Amino acid sequence: MKKLKLLLFAVSPFIIGYILNYLMIKFNWYGLIISIISIAFCVYWFFVGYKSYDYTKTKKESILLGNSFAILSIIVFMFQTLVMERIGFAPQMFYLPVLRVSSWIQRILLFFISTHSMWITFILSCLLMIIIYCAGYSMKFKKRAGDKTADFI
């Protein structure tokens, strides 16, 4: 049951992305609103990583389960661009909530390069989600390790 909850958390960026896309189109959201939502999503994803400590036995299992749809989305994106030579709607929706923060990082990292590639954006978004998730998991791991040390003393 706990792993099922973690898989539901893992698919949540896809659902949030669809809702965000709808709201962006319906209410003409752009700029600061999208930035705030993107930052809030990063906090949410950190919390998911934090909670995943209770749902799995190892960090590796947690990362693979929690980011399974992110990895699957990258694979679908690569297949669509390499084989079909076009990008479908679904992989874009998965990374939409974190896209603004990813674009800020991309601008910093690729400051001197004038071209923009969706490959880089999606890969950076996937890596960012994994890093944020791992940070949340690690924080809970350190908290639990500290609690066990305090109980021992």
Burial of 68 (0-12, 13-18, 19+ CB in 10 A): middle
Q: What is the pLDDT of residue 148?
A: 64
Residues 6+ apart with CB under 8 A from 13: 41, 45, 69, 70, 94, 95, 97, 98, 129
Residue 66 and residue 142: Cα distance in Å, rounded?
A: 19
Place of tokens 């679908």: 76
Given this model, what pLDDT does residue 131 score?
Answer: 96
Ordered by start, the domain boundaries in the chain are: 2-152
Ranges of the chain whose pLDDT falls below 70: 148-153
Per-residue pLDDT at 36: 95
Are 6 and 53 within 8 A, CB to CB? no
Q: What pLDDT score does 149 carry?
A: 55
pLDDT of residue 98: 94
- Residue 146 near residue 108 (C-beta atoms within 8 A): no
Nearest-angstrom CA–CA distance, 126 and 70: 6
Q: pTM of the full predicted structure? A: 0.88
